[in-house]
Amino acid sequence: KKNPVSAAAEKVAEKVQDAVLPAPEIPGAPGPEAASAEEPTKARTPLPPKRDQRGPDTYSPTGQETGTPQGRVAQDGAHLTTAQGARLYDTDHSLKAGPRGPVLLQDHHLREKITHFDHERIPERVVHARGAAAHGVFRAYGAAAGISKAAFLAEGVETPVFVRFSTVLGSRGSADTVRDTRGFATKFYTQEGVFDLVGNNIPVFFIQDAIKFPDVIHAGKPHPDREIPQAQSAHDTFWDFVTLHTEATHHTLWNMSDRGIPRSYRMMEGFGVHTFRLVNAEGATTLVKFHWKPKLGVHSLVWEEAQITAGMDPDFHRRDLADAIEAGAFPQWELGVQTFPDTEDQMFEGIDLLDPTKIVPEELAPVRAIGLMTLDANPSNFFAETEQVAFHLGHLVPGIDVTDDPLLQGRLFSYLDTQISRLGGPNFGQLPINRTHAPVNDMLRDGMHQTAVHRGVAPYRPHSLDGGCPFLAGADTGAYIEVPAEVPAARKVRDAAASFDDHFSQARLFWLSMTPTEREHIAAAYTFELGKCWEKAIKERALKVLANIDPDLCTQVASGLGLPVPEASVPFAAVEPSPALSQLSEQWPVDGRIIGIVTDGADDLDGVREVRRAVLEAGMVPLVIAPAGGTLDPDGDPVTVQRTFTTARSVEFDALLLAGAPAPAADAYGARDAKADDGAAAATGVEPRLLLMVTEAYRHGKAIGAWGAGVSALEAAGLPANSAGVVTDGAASQVLEAVTGLLGGHRAWDRFTPAL
Ligand code: HDE
């Protein structure tokens, strides 16, 4: 009789044999036969990361280069094992007293597997829980070398980076396209230690003092009784807070603007928000504000599009970032600085540099580019990297120091503190994604999840054992030395500077810098958000705040809410608009834009092939939409269908091209519904879901091109052929050319109406 263990192993081997995938070709690895289930004793080189993926570095917990990918092992070798390395012959059945008997407590494998699973989750971040990240490299231009001695800012130095983008309010599983601020946190693995630039896509913050952070977040998070609404500011407690703390007016206005609903993480600016202090080799200091400028320009969704996308594709931004990187369309940002003299009063042109609710307009202090960041690889493992990465404002390198901004000062405490509970102890710096690339020689010992095996007996200084002490460094040997900034003699107070009392002038500056279209969007956003509030008193208070920004804005929102227009309570400041704040002024690259190409499966396939090719050549992504999936013209020059009317929705596309006008699909569930509801659509003889797609794209300001039979779909949708952003002149290639031109401006802006 056969030993039951080998019988089970054989059974599994039989099953696996058919399913086993061809072994990937890895240089130096054993040949494909080694992966055969028949010879399970030969070790196999682990699967390499996918082409677009990179994992953390090869540094050891103490910062030494090991040459082997630390913490990158998974499914390494031919045999499944327990966590202790014992080989397993079965992982699908618990150990029982007979096949129908009770499960035995001695089944260690069962208990280990379930116990580990039970503890797979860690607490999500208390803010910025929802995020996506990528690896990349930062290359310094050298332009900041005169003002900062940071080695990674010297000309030509390349530094690996890891960047995590996030929303603020939503929980880990919430939708990407909600109206919110976005986090933009960058970890630079410099040779002098880790430098974290933990910024946002909005250059100001809601509050001026960190002590209010728990309050503003409690107000923005879902109501504590029912835990709704998720990932939104459109509710009473948020508006209650921001109207009672009017320092929040400026940031709230940015959130209500198109900046609150970015088109893509790749198309956002980033800001360090606070003023930082740079110090050069001579000890001279300069105050700076950090800016990330995206090469693709700053672009946004429109509100209805953002809402539909939150349902159709809650992972829209995460997918967009990963897809772009996988396709080789690596997003890039220039890092820039605005520089200010480090004066005693820390003011610049009347603007308090220590007040995080204030910007310095670029017209007053231009942004000087100091380096280029390229994100060129996706993480290999979301949990190990994106979830476990720990950013901290206090991770500074020589040449970069902080200022006395009270928001910044509080953040210096918060990040380390929160990570101790989120990552389960003080040793999270040893996690592969958090490891510095600089050598580590600290005297921190023990603690939860210690992975370094420290040698020696004398983790203290000075000592006379362990071969002497590590020496202390000086300014000439790369020590991090705080700038000995003067602290003015003063009394201890719980107070703020008088300049912090100006809550409205810069909100007005922002409003006046917007184009009419952007103003329409802002007024509509306030009307939506306040319209979702329940308490009338909160809406009335919000209108009083708006009255102090601008009477037009206040009047529009008040009329939308059906409430009277209050008077301003503070005089309007005389402010100069800053055109740099508007998103709509320029033409931008179209790389990575997604073009939906609609065909009925027969009409002008040559045109479809031609525009498909041209779209790809222009660095954009063509997606062919047809009534049914599969391949068109399979025996000729085949065209693959990527979307059908069941899987496509307008929000996925930046522009639409119509090569045909498909008839309604008789059997499609959605089509039947739409036809029943919409006799007019049925009467047109055009697929109702295409009509929805076209009208939606039109409402959202997207470029639409049509030729041949496609023009009749436009007509059926009731769209005027000669209206803004609708192209019907010429054959396929001419239509595409005109549509590409429109995409450079992102949207057909003049199509917008206040109704959006
Ligand atoms: Fe944060 N913030 N924050 N914040 N913040 C966190 O740290 C905090 C602020 C920002 O992708 C937490 O590890 C306080 C401004 C980003 O992992 C926490 C205050 C700016 C991220 C924390 C602020 C930011 C965080 C939660 C008021 C832009 C996500 C999890 C003084 C300049 C980083 C964590 C990531 C995360 C505290 C205000 C940016 C709780 C107390 C201003 C991008 O420590």
410 lines ligand 1 (CB under 6 A): yes
Question: Would you say 259 and 300 are in contact if contact means Cβ atoms under 8 Å apart?
Answer: yes
Assigned architecture for domain 594-751 = 3-Layer(aba) Sandwich (3.40)
Distance in Å, CA 127 to ligand 1 centroid = 7
Mean pLDDT across 724-741 = 94
Q: Ligand 1 atom 12: the closest Cα is on which residue?
A: 415
Q: Ligand 1 atom 3: the closest Cα is on which residue?
A: 411
By most ligand atoms within 8 Å of CB, the mutation choice from 125, 389, 417, 421 for ligand 1 is 125
419 lines ligand 1 (CB under 6 A): yes
- pLDDT-derived band at 60 (thresholds 50, 70, 90) equals confident
Q: Which atom of ligand 1 is nearest to the CA of 205?
A: 42
- pLDDT-derived band at 24 (thresholds 50, 70, 90) equals very low
Distance in Å, CA 283 to ligand 1 centroid = 30
Q: What is the pLDDT of residues 199-238, one digit of tens each?
A: 999 999 999 999 999 999 999 999 999 999 999 999 999 9
Check pLDDT > 90 for residue 667. Answer: no
- Return the residue matching tokens 């300049």: 499
Mean pLDDT across 355-378 = 98
Q: Ligand 1 atom 42: the closest Cα is on which residue?
A: 205
Q: What is the pLDDT of residue 585?
A: 77
Q: What is the pLDDT of residue 418?
A: 98
Could you write out the DSSP letters of every residue in 500-520? GG--SHHHHHHHHHS-HHHHH
128 lines ligand 1 (CB under 6 A): yes
ipTM, two decimals, is: 0.96
Q: What is the pLDDT of residue 682?
A: 55
Check pLDDT > 80 for residue 6. Answer: no
Q: What is the pLDDT of residues 620-658, one digit of tens each?
A: 999 999 999 999 999 999 999 999 999 999 999 999 999
Distance in Å, CA 380 to ligand 1 centroid = 24
Lowest-confidence pick of 165-179, 406-420, 568-582, 708-722: 708-722
CATH number for the region 504-581 comes to: 1.20.1370.20
Q: Which atom of ligand 1 is nearest to the CA of 214?
A: 41
Strands 368-379 and 131-140: antiparallel
Global pTM reads 0.92
CA-based angle 136:62:434, to the nearest 5?
A: 35
Share of the chain above pLDDT 90, in %: 80
| CA distance linking residue 663 with residue 304, whole number of Å | 27
| CA distance linking residue 605 with residue 421, whole number of Å | 58
Check pLDDT > 90 for residue 35. Answer: no
213 lines ligand 1 (CB under 6 A): yes
Q: Which atom of ligand 1 is nearest to the CA of 273?
A: 32
Give exposure, 514-550, as e/b (b: 16+ Cβ within 10 Å): beebbbbbbbbbbbbbbeebeeeebbbbbbebbbbbb
Distance in Å, CA 212 to ligand 1 centroid = 13
Q: What is the pLDDT of residues 523-540, one digit of tens each?
A: 999 999 999 999 999 999
Distance in Å, CA 418 to ligand 1 centroid = 10
Check pLDDT > 50 for residue 576. Answer: yes
Question: Would you say 346 and 352 are in contact if contact means Cβ atoms under 8 Å apart?
Answer: yes
The sign of the torsion formed by the CA atoms of 518, 233, 388, 197 equals positive
| CA distance linking residue 338 with residue 286, whole number of Å | 10
Could you tell me the residue ranges of all domains in the chain?
131-203+262-434, 504-581, 594-751
Question: Would you say 736 and 615 are in contact if contact means Cβ atoms under 8 Å apart?
Answer: yes
CB within 8 Å of 81: residues ≥ 6 apart: 87, 88
Q: Is 738 helix (H, G, I), strand (E, B) or coil?
A: helix
- pLDDT-derived band at 13 (thresholds 50, 70, 90) equals low
CB within 8 Å of 499: residues ≥ 6 apart: 347, 352, 355
| CA distance linking residue 572 with residue 575, whole number of Å | 9
Check pLDDT > 50 for residue 69. Answer: yes
- pLDDT-derived band at 53 (thresholds 50, 70, 90) equals confident
The candidate with the shortest Cα–Cα distance to 107, out of 122, 118, 97, is 97
Q: What is the pLDDT of residue 64?
A: 76
273 lines ligand 1 (CB under 6 A): yes
Active site residues: 128, 200
Share of the chain above pLDDT 70, in %: 89
Mean pLDDT across 411-431 = 97
Q: What is the pLDDT of residue 659?
A: 96
- What fold characterizes domain 131-203+262-434? Catalase HpII,  Chain A, domain 1 (2.40.180)
